[in-house]
């Protein structure tokens, strides 16, 4: 039976440990990272501690608590099982949900944000407590970009939908059909932030504005053709269709614009409002926004 980490550790606790260590590391290598905190929206006047005019990049961390497993069970015996040490872990991503978590993350990454799923390589509170006290939560976690998931699914010709990420202490695979994928490290993230900050020479305010606009853009989603038997030829690329929630993409964009207007009324500046708007949008999806600028 899988061990559900969520019964032992909250996503909030895990996310706090990760955010604290990422912030400390980026400060150590010369950046000025400022995490978004949702209590900002409950203050009488929204004012963020971000130097919006400085060059910077938005960093998004998506925390995932999954299951620890001892055995990999294949739904299709004709497909090979991934090579995994024991124990190993898994979490699910829904790549077909329009305006959902993965959709928001991938769109933000496509317009320049640094975006990573972060998931623990442990399944009990004691391990987390020890790692937290010794500042090793990040070292005991997987970091992986949503674009890496997208690349592997496209390489396999897999349609969007519910997919599993399985990983052990050193390897990670994107399933249905297991495809070895690449993870990253905090050192590589810091290096990318340095390169991108210099290459773009763009203020963090401009970066945040572009990310907010991306949330209302449409993303093509690879969907399965359901009128024919399931074959490779029965897959087709169509425009993303909204979930049947009674809201069109235009309505969702208008709701997003209304939220921004409400924030603007209490914000000290337009840049403060945009940071809060992007922060609450990503927080609602379970992600931590960190504005990373040069010192």
Nearest to 89, CA basis, from 55, 123, 60: 123
Q: Which domain holds residue 88?
A: 3-294
3-state SS of 80-146 is CCCCCCCCEEEEEEECCCCCCHHHHHHHHHHCCCEEEEEEECCCCHHHHHHHHHCCCCHHHEEEECH
| Angle formed at CA 79 by CA 73 and CA 85, multiple of 5 degrees | 50
Say what the pTM is.
0.86
Residues 9-36 have pLDDT tens digits of: 778 889 999 999 999 999 999 999 999 9
Q: Which of 26-40, 64-78, 241-255, 268-282 has the lowest mean pLDDT?
A: 241-255
Number of structural domains the chain divides into: 1
- Return d(Cα 13, Cα 19) in angstroms, integer: 10
Least confident of 50-54, 98-102, 185-189: 98-102
Which residues lie across from 175 on neighbouring strands?
164
CB 240 within 8 A of CB 221: yes
Distance (Å, whole) CA 63 – CA 52: 26
Dump pLDDT digits (tens) for 258-268: 999 999 999 99
Mean pLDDT of 49-64: 96
Q: Which of 151, 153, 62 is nearest to 105 (CA)?
A: 62
pLDDT tens digit string along 72-120?
665 555 567 788 888 899 999 999 988 899 999 999 999 999 999 999 9
Contact 17, 131 (CB under 8 A): yes
- Mapped to the 3 state alphabet, what secondary structure does 196-258 carry? HHHHHCCEHHHHHHHHHHHCCCCCCEEEECCCCCCCHHHEEEECCCCCCCCCCHHHHHHHHHH
For 213-242, what is the mean pLDDT? 56
């Amino acid at each position: 039976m899988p061990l559900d980490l969520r019964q032992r550790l909250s996503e909030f606790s895990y996310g706090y440990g990760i955010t604290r260590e990422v912030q400390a590391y980026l400060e150590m290598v010369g950046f000025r990272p400022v995490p978004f905190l949702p209590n900002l929206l409950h203050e009488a006047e929204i004012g963020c501690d971000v130097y919006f005019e400085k060059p910077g990049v938005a960093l998004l961390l998506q925390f995932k608590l999954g299951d620890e497993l001892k055995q990999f069970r294949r739904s299709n015996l004709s497909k090979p099982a991934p090579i995994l040490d024991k124990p190993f872990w898994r979490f699910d991503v829904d790549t077909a949900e329009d305006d959902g978590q993965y959709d928001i993350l991938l769109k933000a990454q496509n317009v320049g944000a640094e975006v990573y799923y972060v998931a623990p390589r442990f399944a009990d509170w004691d391990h987390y407590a020890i790692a937290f006290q010794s500042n090793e939560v990040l070292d005991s976690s997987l970091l992986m970009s949503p674009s890496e998931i997208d690349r592997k699914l496209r390489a396999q010709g897999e349609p969007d939908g519910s997919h599993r990420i399985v990983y052990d202490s050193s390897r990670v695979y994107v399933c249905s059909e297991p495809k070895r994928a690449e993870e990253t490290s905090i050192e590589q993230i810091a290096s990318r932030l340095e390169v991108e900050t210099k290459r773009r020479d763009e203020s963090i305010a401009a970066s945040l504005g572009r990310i907010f606009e991306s949330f209302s853009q449409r993303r093509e989603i690879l969907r399965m053709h359901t009128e024919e038997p399931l074959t490779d030829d029965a897959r087709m690329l169509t425009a993303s269709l909204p979930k049947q929630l009674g809201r069109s993409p235009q309505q969702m964009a208008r709701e997003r614009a209304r939220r921004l207007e409400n924030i603007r009324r209490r914000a000290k500046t337009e840049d403060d409002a945009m940071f809060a708007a992007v922060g609450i949008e990503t927080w609602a999806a379970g992600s931590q926004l960190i504005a990373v600028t040069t010192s």
